Amino acid sequence: IYFHETSGRSRLTLRQSCAVESAAKENPDRPVQLIMQTDMSSINRRGTWLNVLSNYPNVAVILIKEMDYFRDTPLEDWYRKGQWRQSPHKLEHFADYIRMLSSLKGGGLYMDLDFVTIKQLDIGNFLAVEDAAANHISNGIFHFDHGHRLIREIVNQLAARYQPEEWNAHGPALIFSIMSRICGLKTGQPLSNQCQDVALMPYNFVYPIHWPDWRIYFQKANRNVMQWINGSYAVHVWNKMSHSEPLLINSDQVYATLASRHCPFTVARAAEF
């Protein structure tokens, strides 16, 4: 299981810490890697987030130098040319590219840093749809074994065609076009996937609450909502929309309730973040 902190910061926020901790806690037999683009000297060894993650022997923090990471890969030219640096979406595009590069390099399960894992994730190659209409495939969570043909195809497409002005072009839109071309996938018909080597998971697998309803995570938990969410393997809290909404630790908020259960060390030290 791997995560990328792509902002260049040398520490994690409380929510990001919860994402990594919950993945480690619910998957004790899997290595969990947090990949950061920063150097050793800028990391506070006594930082709260590092302290929290050190409770889990399966967590490793990996520091990379960007140029070295892209060197001798199909995406080296894209990185070197640097057209992406001028894009209005450069942070999103960099994140789109590096997560796929990591999948090509080592395979495994990628997750965004705004998930809370609530069950063991032991499913092989998969992609997930984001909503009941099933016309949007997420690039926020996916699993490809090392060397999988689809990740090779995704990376080749990323290398061949960069669209700096298009926010969404290198994530869900690209994955959908490849899935429709190679696997016969039709819009809104998840069962039309003809590829036996990648499962298309239904939206409630990790997106039980669709993005227009993100505020539910910050409202009081009730039995219906918690029962619905507990059918999922992880939940995505839509940080793009929800980042400024307060997470009230130890309250009866849905998000706070999930955090208490699944990232207890983060919650215990929440005041220090």
Q: What is the largest CA-CA distance in the chain?
A: 53
- The reply to whether 189 falls in a domain is yes
Q: What is the percent of the chain with per-residue pLDDT over 70, rounded to a whole number?
A: 100
Residue entry with tokens 């039709």? 186
Question: Lowest mean pLDDT: which of 8-17, 160-169, 235-244?
Answer: 160-169
| Domain total in the chain | 1
**Per-residue pLDDT tens digits for 178-220:** 999 999 999 888 889 999 999 999 999 999 999 999 999 999 9
Query: Domain range holding 123?
Result: 2-203
- The reply to whether 260 falls in a domain is no
DSSP annotation string for 74-142 = TTHHHHHH-GGGGSTTHHHHHHHHHHHHHHHHH-EEEE-TTEEE-S-----SEEEESSTT---EEEEEE
- The reply to whether 145 falls in a domain is yes
Q: Which residues of 57-88 are buried (b: 16+ CB within 10 A; e: fewer)?
A: ebbebeebeeeebbeeebbeebbeeeebeebe
Amino acid in position 145: D
Q: With 80 as the cut, is the pLDDT of residue 151 above it?
A: yes
- The reply to whether 224 falls in a domain is no
- The reply to whether 118 falls in a domain is yes
**Per-residue pLDDT tens digits for 119-146:** 999 999 999 999 877 778 999 999 999 9
- The reply to whether 41 falls in a domain is yes
Tokens standing for 246?
């307060």
Question: Mean pLDDT throughout 63-75?
Answer: 97
Strand partners, 186: 189
What pLDDT score does 223 carry? 96
Spatial distance between the Cα atoms of 50 and 153, rounded to a whole number of angstroms: 36
What mean pLDDT, rounded, does the chain reach?
Answer: 95
**Per-residue pLDDT tens digits for 216-254:** 999 999 999 999 999 999 999 999 999 999 999 999 999
**What's the CATH code of the domain at 28?**
3.90.550.20
- The reply to whether 32 falls in a domain is yes
What pLDDT score does 42 carry? 86
- The reply to whether 243 falls in a domain is no
